[in-house]
Structure 1
Amino acid sequence: MMDATIRNHWFLDPGPLSSWIDRFADELAAQRYTPLTIEGYTASARHFAAWLGRAGISIDVIDGDVVRRFAEHRCRCPGGRQWLRISPKYSRRAGRFVVFLQEAGVACPPPKIASPYPLLDGYQSWLHIHRGLSERTIARHLRDLHKLLPELGTATLDYDAALIRSVVREWRERTGPADLRTITSALRSYLRYLAGAGLCRPNLDHAIPPVLQWRLSSLPRYLAAADVERVIASCDQLARGCLRDRAILLLLARLGLRAGDVACLRLDDIEWTSGMLRLSGKARRQVRLPLPQDVGDALLAYIEQERPCVPEEAVFLTMIAPYRSFAQSSHVSTIVALALKRAGISDPPSSGACLLRHSAATSMLRSGATLEAIGTVLRHRSLDMTAHYAKVDIAMLEQVAQPWPGELPC
């Protein structure tokens, strides 16, 4: 194998990119990639660099189209290759090398594509600065508005109630109630921004018809306390990531955190001396919660024994190089779903992080905690939201329920 590697290195001349391939390998090593993976990346980069020389393509014109041409070329490059087509994985690794060159300033950065809706740039800044929304929520609003704006048009001063209602009615026929609620929420927000900036008539957001729903009509979905402990104990079955997953599950089950809270947790948010946890919730609302002993012990064990030593501020990182924070909060829900499967809970009410959040609230209620205390821990803005959990207190409901009157005389 080593002889073949040396032979391929000899036949594939990367030319002026040779030193940059070495730097590329150093960067991958700094991100804790394994030597075998690094060799795969550098082999693709070396092949790509040699193909550039044979095709007469200069470094300063490398872009995504050049990588596509490399992926589609019928390979007759030196080293005994007789490939009809480059594999997708191989070409993706070459594309990663191109990104490295662009970040280093060797290759030209990809051109910025002008947005067809320039007003959305100001709207995005408004959501971030004045509304305090997360990047994920902002991205969802922008995605929904890109669906609506082709029908609304860009002449915002001409918007009227009839146009707004017409667009919403049309989308009601295309999608379900859940999606329609998110779309109309984004549209209301956008119209308020435009009205505040003097770009459309005021109060057009009131022209959007409501999407009817029974608010909090269902019972909370939760696990029994014994099942929650089985889910946490299932982490002992893991050979890799055991301590990380255990700490995440304890944060969800003991403090009722949201998936986004766990994904965004930073090392300096843990106040070890005072035993407190600092959280930045929705709309950048910061709170401090007491850190239970078992949760603190699990966090300390993960940070000291399992967390990779990389310059990342996030507490929880991926277990495969490159070690980085979770790209999406849904990764936390995936950890919960896998733990449910390991624990043998085959038919849970749900499989996301909210299941443990609801279970924590239900457990606190049955232990005698007041709705105000539960709402404080869960960081609810309204007590009506916390009152949702009162439905699971069957004993209390039996005391206030009225007997069925039966048939009443006329």
Structure 2
Amino acid sequence: MKTVMPATARGPLAGAVMEQLSAWLATERYARSMVPQILGVTRGLSAWMDDHDIALQALTVAVLESFEATYGRTVPGHTLVATRMPPLRRFLTETGYLPGIELARRQVRRPVNKPAPPISTAADRELDQWARWQREVGGIGAGCIRHRRIWMAELVDSLCPTDDRIDWSTCDVATLNTSIVARSAGLSSASCTLIVDATRSLMRWALATGRVTHDLTGGILRTRATRVTLPRALSPTQVEALLAACHPKSVAGVRDRAVITLLWRLGLRAGETAHLCLDDIDWSAGRLSVVGKGPRRLTLPLPVDVGRALVTWLAVRPTNACDRALFVRVRPPIRALSSAGISDIVKHRGEAAGMGAVHAHRLRHTAAMNVIAGGGNLIEAQELLGHRSAASTQTYARTDLTSLRTLTVPFGQVPR
């Protein structure tokens, strides 16, 4: 069905933004057939924003999602909107028109006409110093720091009576708990736990740096305890079905088979897989170098089946790629796949195999549980997954019930 888009641009994206987008698409080497479609969707978004009185400064992820959800109801061919929004989102993010898009799925949704209020200069400065402390002292990853900053921004800003200083003396247990309750409204238990952890981290930093004189973490609310679920792995039959959904005669199929093999055999995260480069493979030693969390560099053995899958992929990998990423797109622009791109491969192949949406992390669970099922111990699983703490790996012990039963003392033989 042909998409009906505005013939001329109007609204907040018209003019300079459209010109920037055209130049960006040319620089990124998008296919000629895609460029007019992306520009057409952009004109539609701009006109839609104009009709809803949304200024460029108020552009958020929620605005884009609302546009995708509603525009197609009145405009024929709305399927094109969903398929051409990803490059537009990337352009808006890279040029600063849409900050924080990677956090969209984790944030509390705000009404389209109520963008997040800006915080004071003093609050922004404090959050920067807290982020530096987390990174340098705690070794916290950049992604976690970004999430914590969003969750704590309003709390820190509320302690700012003027734009140039923070009054930490007004921060007490009641203030912290009120902030947690307000920020956690409507979120899952897991998200609430992360918000509590962020609050505790903020107050540990405030105490360590002399901003507060008393440890307030003891009075902070705790989230309701929930039953921790067992890690969900795929069965061998399901793994085979997932691999079989990757057509061996298509370039994308060969690539996706290599990605899935790497994930389920070595237990890599989607982000770790996306960051792999051609130089990370040591063919002579049969090893793979991976940048894990922290960042920490891990060296993993390269099993024969993984090596074969990678060799098959490298034989058809586009030679005109923009970088030396191991896994790249097969359509212009030929550049590295993102973490979301790796996750989408698993999701789409799972749907094609009739398994529904499969998350990439289930393949990581599969790798760990295969170690346990094959007679390995938790230390071996920890080394494979690259966990810094053994506590992170202990959850897999509960999945090997047969081995655990040998550790129990039979009734009647309890030592007296």
Query: What TM-score, normalized by structure 1, do the two folds share?
Result: 0.67
The answer for the alignment partner of 2:366 in structure 1 is 359
Give 1:315's match in structure 2, choosing from 309, 326, 331. Answer: 326
1:324 pairs with 2:321: no
8 Å contact kept, 2:207–2:213: yes
Closer, same or farther: CA 309–175 of 1 in aligned 2, 3 Å: same
Gaps of 5+ in 2: 1-6, 8-14, 43-54, 60-77, 100-116, 161-165
The answer for the alignment partner of 2:289 in structure 1 is 278
Shift of 1:169: 4.6
SS of 2:299's equivalent in the other structure is strand
The sequence identity of aligned pairs, in percent, is: 28
The answer for the alignment partner of 1:33 in structure 2 is 30
The answer for the alignment partner of 2:144 in structure 1 is 137
Closer, same or farther: CA 115–296 of 1 in aligned 2, 3 Å: farther
The answer for the alignment partner of 1:52 in structure 2 is none
Paired positions, count: 338
The answer for the alignment partner of 2:71 in structure 1 is none
1:165 pairs with 2:177: yes
| Bigger CA radius of gyration | 1
Closer, same or farther: CA 129–382 of 1 in aligned 2, 3 Å: closer
SS of 2:300's equivalent in the other structure is strand
Q: Distance in 1 between matches of 2:140 and 2:405?
A: 41
The answer for the alignment partner of 2:306 in structure 1 is 295
Q: Distance in 2 between matches of 1:339 and 1:306?
A: 19
Q: Distance in 1 between matches of 2:188 and 2:35?
A: 46
Q: Distance in 1 between matches of 2:186 and 2:39?
A: 48
Shift of 1:331: 3.2
Closer, same or farther: CA 323–141 of 1 in aligned 2, 3 Å: farther
1:230 pairs with 2:241: yes
SS of 2:343's equivalent in the other structure is helix
Closer, same or farther: CA 388–237 of 1 in aligned 2, 3 Å: same
The answer for the alignment partner of 2:74 in structure 1 is none
Shift of 1:289: 0.8
The letter of the residue matching 1:370 is: N
The letter of the residue matching 2:213 is: R
8 Å contact kept, 1:265–1:316: yes
Closer, same or farther: CA 235–273 of 1 in aligned 2, 3 Å: same
RMSD of aligned Cα (Å): 4.3
Tell me whether 139-148 or 127-136 shows the greater mean CA deviation.
127-136
8 Å contact kept, 1:307–1:316: no
Shift of 1:190: 1.9
Q: Distance in 2 between matches of 1:163 and 1:298?
A: 55
SS of 2:233's equivalent in the other structure is coil
The answer for the alignment partner of 2:386 in structure 1 is 379
Query: What TM-score, normalized by structure 2, do the two folds share?
Result: 0.66
Q: Which has the higher contact order (CA 8 A, sep 6+)?
A: 1
Give 1:121's match in structure 2, choosing from 128, 132, 156. Answer: 128
Q: Distance in 1 between matches of 2:185 and 2:31?
A: 51
8 Å contact kept, 1:247–1:299: yes
The letter of the residue matching 1:226 is: T
Q: Distance in 2 between matches of 1:384 and 1:120?
A: 29
1:155 pairs with 2:162: no
